[in-house]
Amino acid sequence: MSSIIKILPDHVINKIAAGEVVERPASVVKELIENAIDAGATEVFIDIEKAGTRLIRVTDNGSGMSKEDARTAFLRHATSKISDDADLEAIRTMGFRGEALSSIASVSHVRMLTATPGSSSGVMVEIEAGNVKSLADAGAPRGASFEISHLFYNTPARLKFLKSAATEFSHILAAVSRQAMAHPSIGFRLTHNKKPVLDLPLSMSVKERAFQLYGNEITENVMLFSGGRDNVHIHGLIGRPAYSRADRTYQDFYVNRRAVKNASLTHGLYSAYGDMLMRGRHPVGFIFIDIDPALVDVNVHPAKAEVLFRNQSQIHDLLRDVIREGLRAHGMPVISTPEATG
Ligand SMILES: Nc1ncnc2c1ncn2[C@@H]1O[C@H](COP(=O)(O)OP(=O)(O)OP(=O)(O)O)[C@@H](O)[C@H]1O
Ligand SMILES: [Mg+2]
């Protein structure tokens, strides 16, 4: 019998990967900001048109790329962040797979302008559906600027599943806000259809960044906390129990500055509050877990939105205890009953 199995061509492989990495315009924004952070940027500008369906532009003042790297960056599995499997055990950067740019480029048109510090000239690359259309020297400031247009033009199913512009933009705003909370020392600016939406100068602390993002009401109702042990430091802002909310809008967990969803961490937070929260109400919390990267696996989710702790229940208990201690330190009547761990 003749064989029926074949290896897919690269452009199909890239499109399949893109299906996982690039769910909606906000995913592109998230990946490009992560790259800017990894490049050491101190300023990131994000300009969006038509909720990202017409244009997503992310400009940073980071390390930039050489001409050679500007081309290589868009290839699948091309990364400067890890070089062998041992590196996977201790990831300190936001990116590590070398998949984001190749995925984005396979479902859009990309124009990138970049220059390294001190170089006499920069470079401009144009890519359509993953194919390089042009690569030429061009004047550019230090850093990198990515313009993504025609997103999902060659994946009509994905385009059809996009929600209204208001919903898609709210996802973009949430993605930018999460990155901004995690990196107060980076300045962010976000515009939509040329109108300013966020202007966050670099700030000194998480609390100051929370104020820039969410204003007085949230900032007045949160308390700083911090604690931990050995290789784990847990800190951030937690809401006064009396200031609970009807949803989880102001509740984010960050593991080594990466925004993640993790049911056990969420459970730890709620157990810390215990009876202080009314049924169906949610505490505000911006919670940072800084942990030895060897103790957490970040390579478990296609959009890097989840992590796996080597010792999940210890982290749960530690988080609960540190937050309880934080509440107690601020004069809240915490009751420390032993509970099942999540
Ligand atoms: N804004 C930027 N400034 C400088 N270099 C960049 C920038 N964006 C991307 N690069 C370079 O291009 C490479 C590929 O980026 P890409 O996002 O595809 O992969 P990654 O960040 O290494 O991993 P991941 O797929 O997990 O994001 C990066 O490793 C980096 O060397
Ligand atoms: Mg990346």
CA–centroid distance, residue 10 to ligand 2 (Å): 19
The CATH number fitting domain 215-329, selected from 3.40.50.2300, 3.30.230.10, 3.40.30.10, 1.10.540.10: 3.30.230.10
In angstroms, rounded to a whole number, what is the distance separating the alpha carbons of residues 43 and 186? 6
Reading the chain (342 residues) residue by residue, the pLDDT tens digits are 789 999 999 889 988 988 899 999 999 999 999 999 999 999 999 999 999 999 999 999 999 999 999 999 999 999 999 999 999 989 999 999 999 999 999 999 999 999 999 898 999 999 999 999 999 999 999 999 999 999 999 999 999 999 999 999 999 999 999 999 999 999 999 999 999 999 999 999 999 999 999 999 999 999 999 999 989 999 999 999 999 999 999 999 999 999 999 999 999 999 999 999 988 999 999 999 999 999 999 999 999 999 999 999 999 999 999 999 999 999 888 876 655 444
Q: In the numeric block, which tokens belong to residue 209? A: 């960044």
Q: Provide the residues around ligand 2 (an ion) whose CB is within 5 A.
A: 35, 95, 100
Element (H, E) at 167: helix 165-182
CA distances (Å), 266 to each of 253, 282, 293, in order?
Answer: 8, 10, 20
> Where, residue-wise, is CATH 3.30.565.10 in the chain?
10-200
Asked if 17 and 99 count as a contact pair (C-beta separation under 8 A), the reply is yes
Ligand nearest to the CA of 36: 1
- Predicted pLDDT at 337: 61
CATH superfamily membership of 10-200: Histidine kinase-like ATPase, C-terminal domain (3.30.565.10)
- Predicted pLDDT at 191: 98
Among protein residues, the one whose CA lies closest to atom 31 of ligand 1: 80
CA–centroid distance, residue 108 to ligand 1 (Å): 17
- Report the Cα–Cα distance between both ends of the chain, in Å, rounded: 52
Instruction: List phi, psi (to 5°) of 313.
Output: -75, -30
pTM of the entire predicted model: 0.96
> Where, residue-wise, is CATH 3.30.230.10 in the chain?
215-329
In angstroms, rounded to a whole number, what is the distance separating the alpha carbons of residues 208 and 195? 23
- Answer yes or no: is the C-beta of 296 below 6 A from any ligand 1 atom: no
Q: In the numeric block, which tokens belong to residue 170? A: 């709210």
